[in-house]
Structure 1
């Protein structure tokens, strides 16, 4: 082969490589922008689409002209300036329309977008070939032209398909490779489809851009566009990386206190348990709860509470040593970890240092406030070999210690778990107790103390467990309130009591207790109204009993509900008066139909002077407000005589009747009537009981 031919062949191959390289790197940047466009919405999406179209279109434009020059680089040739610019515009518009269609979410959208882009690339090649003037003649083969069209359309569709339907993270790189391969393949297809014959007689117009000059110009222009696009991509990537780092930091740290959060604690717990298992160490997990923090929020506001939590976290952070970890879970709850080979001794030391952080009073809005921390801990693997169970044990110990005394440090024991397990099982059984017919109502008669006449009955819930027998209300009522099972249970009790009374099986009024959980529901009045309509009971025969603590959290809303009930004709009585708040302001704000004197005072009558004085005060208060008083827990005739002589209106207790099931209620009424008849004369003739 002659040296000139070898040089021309080498030069030809070098131009093809340059065309492929320019297309590869330019479209790679463009595809990165296209991927960002698919991940965004609105104007940002169109901005990224424009950047992708400019980068990809410029790369295709440059590689097209370079591949045309490579057809016969030894010929004297040039390009029309205006047509060259038109080719660039066609390339950018074709990519923009193709990317826009290809990024949509209908079936075959990527393939359709790729075909549109391929058609634009073919139009670009056609326009570029028309703008190319050579000192000779070119003859085209129809088969080669058809192959060029097939390659242009097919490979464009494949490229956009890979960018939109990535199987792996390398597929978008594959899209750029496909476009680069397309340019090279189309070049060789055009080489096979064309025959160029030099003709020195052909004169080139003077306004043409010389081929070498255009080659350098397009490469320089594309390098500028690629550099700009690549810089944009790097800046965006850096911005996203910084945002991801910031999100990671926020997700692993509590923004208010600066302590690690629950997510970070879980990761540290996983690491420490693995280390403890491998190195035969022990790991203690701590649950720390700030006592009385809710009161701070209620009195001083949440802003002051947040500042207090920041100081609490700062004090505890200063007590942390090597091998120890502290995190904030939420609210006023914190978590801790300590690795040591000397647990539980070292765990007690850690808890003691945390407790010592609360020794000095805190300052809240200029006032000194004393706080304590209830701390529970469990040791891995002594207490449990399960990582997730470790923290549950610590929380269980904390709650157990707090229930006995605030500010205590409590170590987990297996007995706690047994108790908690039994309590959880009981709570599960309680959820369906009403459905299984295990709940029943017992009724305790209420009488007029002046003549012993039966005037009503109080409905009291009982639970006959299939395995454990009769369970005390003192045990299952708090559990029902804790799990909110009291809501359906309370509705069942209301419905059952109203039905029994409507059927004439209960004399006078029927009294039903309302739980604070029931009272917190906005539809309480509507629910009671629906039950009255369903059962046919007159509202005048229903009495609901509430304690003052039931509506103390929101007095305005609570009094509104009570007024709605009373407007319906339902009597409302204040239960357990004399305990809790017993606010005179509440009695003044809402005229109760009855005050129920708590049995803790009645049981000490008549010998206890303090109890007698309190009872007289309550009775005098009721008389002055025009509110009748019912005394609970009357068990002796002396108590009955004292209360009757002091003007107490009504009473209930074992002296008259014990709570009984509905079937035994007639017998209880008959027994109470006989007792009253036998003792009425003695009570009337007995001297007044003097105050002790």
Structure 2
């Protein structure tokens, strides 16, 4: 009796071990297929998901049968054929849905997919229990069933979590181990849940599949499925190895530098991304741009530039280590890849090695030329789960770094993408801002410095965003110029300012800025003439402001437009004088009526001797050419005194008035009256002015 019990115990444990082994091997193959599915797209991804589902589902199906047979192996038992087939369908379908959900990129995708698999596994156990017939009666314990339910859901969620969030390359082995452990655990919880009472009088229907026969058939079928799946994995591994060899052969196909080209880089990126998934490593993508290369081409010619690129490629290739890849995209832009388990430290080190090769000057036609490289990098899948985004993120980081300073190494951060996305959204909102009535004009008063009287106002565009409120002009004006929305916005500002001035709401002249895009229009003078006729404003009360760079882009055309405007009686002012070319030839060639001195010089007066010298020079230049000067950014009485004493005709700034809306302008005009002087001395009585203020 004791020997029979011992035999039954040993046989029971062997069946449990067999169930765990079948599940372990089958799910290990399935998880390898799942890893390949996550690294591919389209129909290939669907094929790998199906293979993973069939392998994993069949292994779980077989392990479930064996574990149920082990509940009481001494009793005669059998399974219903229909239940057997339904269990297999449930296993495969639940794994397919679970893997599909688990491979997505939303926050709890792996856990959600694992729960779906867990529900399928529990459903499979339920169908198996219903289709299992023994020579006796089976009663179930509710507490044991609840424990089975919790273990089934929790362990399956953990398994897909480990497969989809690998920390090391062993995590996918851990996923298979977790599923095998789950099958064994569910077996013992079912033992705690089921009580089998033998009944000698009980007979089994003849149409049932005998348990031993089914066990042999199930194990054989599963081994066949797993063998097929494993063969597929081996074939795929071999094809990837051959693909790597083919990439290596295609690498040296850039005719000039001998480096891989963009096509080879894309193939290597796809290959390395799959390897990163397989090995639970990370992949860094790099965008490398040589700073100042265009100057080499302009100064020494393209032939010399090509030789420099060849030398630069040779230097960079010389510092590559195992697992690193370098390609030439076009011109002076290169691309890099680095596989590592220790990013971002290794990525930063790789970028520093690349940057270091440019520390030594290049010899171009016997002249030493020093260049730098701006480098941006992004890490897959840390920074993005999409491999195609890794390179675009690296380029975004490179351009962001280069915009600040040449030669920087910049890692991609999510905030960069957020800023770019916010900028695109703002550009979309800006397109219809004029039609929606979101734009408005503020006016800053302009004052005659010798007597403090108001002589005009400058129109300044403002944008009241419906959600963000007031947007700074420094933010939306460059965006409007990039999207070319500034043309319509500028015309609206010109028409609104002329209408406000014609209605008597603005004293003196009204100054309106013209953007470079507006100045490129051949019908600019005709458009302004039509606006003056429409609003009834005298041309003598309109002043247009243009920067020197605007008219210098096409001098002949610019001179023609300015002469047409002046012939209409419109004044033309050079804006931001001192920040661009500021050449005497420009002042001589173009018929400007006013020079606007940039506030960057005014704000340092009178303490900064260099700024004071520059301002005196500009004022003397204006006097000699007969062009009055208006100083921007006057904020203190000391600045006012200095400018008036040196002969500056007009000024504007916070000292006299801040930019105000049209409704607030009367109050600003009244407040500015305290600066009016009846007499005209060269030096101001500062204490009296302070008292008046």
Q: TM-score range by the shorter chain?
A: 0.5 to 0.7
Q: Which residue of 2 aligns with 1:378?
A: 378
Q: 1:612 to 1:551 in 2, by over 3 A?
A: same
Residue aligning to 1:668: 668
| Residues 462, 472 of structure 1: 8 Å contact kept | yes
Shift of 1:650: 0.7
Structure 2 residue matching 1:635: 3-state secondary structure: coil
Partner of 1:396: 396
Secondary structure of the residue aligned to 1:663 is: coil
Farther off after superposition, 385-394 or 395-404:
395-404
| Shift in CA distance, 412/649, structure 1 to aligned 2, threshold 3 Å | same
Match of 1:686 among 677, 684, 687: 684
CA offsets 1:359-389 (integer angstroms, 9 cap, x no match): 2223445543322111110111111111122
Change in 2 beyond 3 A, CA 1:584/1:254 = farther
Give the corresponding residue for 2:611. Answer: 611
1:636–1:426: structure 2 CA closer, same or farther, 3 Å change rule?
Answer: same
Q: Give 1:455 shift.
A: 2.1
What is the match of residue 509 of structure 1? 509
In 2 relative to 1, CA 299–560 (structure 1 residues): closer, same or farther, beyond 3 Å? farther
- After TM superposition, the structure 1 = structure 2 runs for residues 411-426 of structure 1, keeping only pairs within 5 Å, are 411-426=411-426
Contact 1:547 1:575 in 2 (8 A): yes
Please state if 1:547 is matched with 2:550.
no
* Partners of 1:314 and 1:577 in 2: CA distance: 47
Residues 578-622 of structure 1: per-residue CA shift (max 9 Å, x gap): 223322232223232111111122222223322222211111111
Kindly report which structure 2 residues correspond to 1:276-355, keeping only aligned pairs within 5 A, or say none: 276-297=276-297, 305=305, 308-355=308-355
CA distance in 2, matches of 1:514, 1:303: 42
Q: Distance in 1 between matches of 2:305 and 2:564?
A: 35
Equivalent residues of 1:642, 1:688 under 8 A apart = no
Structure 1 CA distance for aligned equivalents of residues 331 and 485 of structure 2: 25
Deviation at 1:253, TM superposition (A): 5.9
CA contact (8 A) 2:461 2:473 kept: yes
CA–CA distance in 2 between the matches of 1:584 and 1:357?
Answer: 43
Moved more, 434-443 or 661-670: 661-670
Deviations 1:155-177 (A, max 9, x none): xxxxxxxxxxxxxxxxxxxxxxx
- CA spacing shift, 1:495–1:302, aligned 2, 3 Å: farther
C-alpha deviations, 1:243-275, integer Å up to 9, x for none? xxxxxx999966665544434433332222122
Q: Residues of 2 paired with 1:469 and 1:422: CA distance? A: 15
Q: In 2, distance between residues paired with 1:661 and 1:552? A: 33
- Aligned equivalents of 2:563, 2:250: Cα separation in 1: 48
Q: 1:534 to 1:464 in 2, by over 3 A?
A: same
Partner of 2:630: 630
Mapped to 2, the partners of 1:364 and 1:555 lie a distance apart of 35
- Could you list the per-position Cα deviations for residues 208-240 of structure 1 after superposition, in whole angstroms to 9, with x for gaps in the alignment? xxxxxxxxxxxxxxxxxxxxxxxxxxxxxxxxx
User: Equivalent residue for 1:591?
Assistant: 591
Indicate conservation of the 8 Å contact 1:285/1:335, yes or no. Answer: yes
Deviation readout 1:472-511 (Å, 9 max, x if unpaired): 2122222333333333322322232233333333233222
Would the alpha carbon gap of residues 370 and 460 (structure 1) be closer, same or farther in structure 2, given more than 3 Å must change?
A: same
Q: CA deviation at 1:660?
A: 1.0
Task: Indicate if the aligned counterparts of 1:252 and 1:263 stay in contact, CA closer than 8 A.
Answer: no
Corresponding residue for residue 369 of structure 1: 369
Give the whole-Å Cα distance in 2 for the aligned partners of 1:325 and 1:490: 49
State the shift of 1:681 in Å. Answer: 5.0
Is the CA contact (8 Å cut-off) linking 1:645 and 1:688 kept in structure 2? Answer: no
What's 1:461 paired with? 461
Q: Secondary structure at the match of 2:289?
A: strand
Between the aligned partners of 1:418 and 1:362, the Cα distance in structure 2 is 38
Q: Is the 8 A contact 1:457 1:508 kept in 2?
A: yes
Bigger radius of gyration: 1
Alpha carbons of structure 1 residues 528 and 338: separation in structure 2 relative to 1, 3 Å: farther
The residue aligned with 1:659 is 659
Which whole-Å CA distance do the structure 1 matches of 2:251 and 2:508 have between them?
62
So what's the TM-score if we normalise by structure 1? 0.58
Judge conservation of contact 2:637–2:686 (CA < 8 Å) in 1.
no
CA RMSD of aligned residues (A): 3.2
- The Cα of 1:661 is off from its aligned counterpart by 1.2
Q: Which residue of 2 aligns with 1:447?
A: 447
CA separation of 1:482/1:361 partners in 2, compared to 1, >3 Å: closer, same or farther? farther
- Give the TM-score, by structure 2 length: 0.58
Query: In structure 2, how many angstroms separate the alpha carbons of the residues matched to 1:404 and 1:390?
Result: 22
